[in-house]
Amino acid sequence: MTKAELFSQIKKKSSFLCVGLDADINKIPKHLLKEKDPIFSFCKEIIEETADFAVAYKPNIAFFEALGTEGWETLQKVLELIPKEIFTIADAKRGDIGNTSKLYAKAFFEKMDFDSVTVAPYMGVDSVTPFLEFDEKWVILLALTSNAGSMDFQLIKDEQGKPLYQTVLEKSQSWGSDENMMYVVGATRGELIGEVRKVVPDHFFLVPGVGAQGGSLSEVAKYGMNSTCGLLVNSSRGIIYASEGTDFAKVARKESEKLQIEMKDLLEKYL
């Protein structure tokens, strides 16, 4: 998918919502466990009910990988369910030396047909660029994550006082462009999103941490939005596990619509 196509979706739906498919067999409604493939049934209903309000879906690959080969089959089937105009993110946090990263890229971009994959930066340029060699496919590079451990290394300042995440942003900008690279920027620190936006004016950010992890959507929009929106805000648990009953998909619909309405206002305010 191109950046223009993504932005077009955002405008059409007045939404920059990404629904995270953290499909956990221990958390999905119990009535689904009698289905042949409970995770597939769960994702299918979630997608059907939220597709009107979402511009992206982000399957968390670990949740499928943990189920073994059957999990990979389920992931493939789930991916095929997602309407073509919606951006898909393989949240896999991959990254290895060149020939190996190329194989991960093939797994997600050719064997499966994801639009993007999340990649960890620690191994540097040759672990990231193999993912950038595919037309209309995207790398979403970890910059500033929303977990507690993000403080361990990402905020370490170098001899010039520059935090590591900023060096990641600066160096990686020359590896790709805002047409094939995005950044993961956690929502739990509103003002830091503004710092990141100064360094990276044009790129999209994938923003986790809104909702369950405590981030504020209005802060994210205030500090992070740019002229092509530039934001995909992810919500997982707050949508997909909003109800444990047979009404889970309808409740997910309501929760995603609530976010979309809030996003519509923010788009009108800042775009």
**114: number of CA atoms within 13 Å, CB side?**
28
Is the CB of residue 41 less than 8 Å from the CB of residue 77? no
Q: How far are the Cα atoms of 64, 71, 74, 234 from residue 61, in angstroms, in the given order?
A: 5, 9, 11, 15
3-state secondary structure 38-75: HHHHHHHHHHHHHCCCEEEEEEEHHHHHCCCHHHHHHH
Span from 32-40, 161-169, 195-203, 217-225 in contact with a second copy (CB under 8 A): 161-169
Q: Which of 7, 40, 53, 104 binds a second copy (CB under 8 A)?
A: 104
The 3-state DSSP class for residue 111 equals helix
Q: Which of 12, 30, 31, 171 binds a second copy (CB under 8 A)?
A: 171
The 3-state DSSP class for residue 166 equals helix
Q: Determine which helix (DSSP H) or strand (DSSP E) holds 11, and give its type and residue range.
A: helix 3-13
Q: Which of 78, 89, 168, 210 binds a second copy (CB under 8 A)?
A: 168
- Among 93, 250, 258, 264, the one annotated catalytic: 93
93 is annotated as an active-site residue: yes
261 binding a second copy? (CB under 8 A): no
Q: Which of 11, 32, 85, 100 binds a second copy (CB under 8 A)?
A: 100
101 binding a second copy? (CB under 8 A): yes
What is the closest distance, in whole angstroms, from the C-beta atom of residue 271 to a second copy in the complex?
30
Q: What positions carry a catalytic annotation?
A: 93
Q: Rule CB under 8 A: which residues touch a second copy?
A: 22, 24, 60, 62-63, 65-69, 72-73, 76, 91, 93-101, 103-104, 106-107, 111-112, 120-128, 142, 145-154, 156-159, 161, 164, 167-168, 171
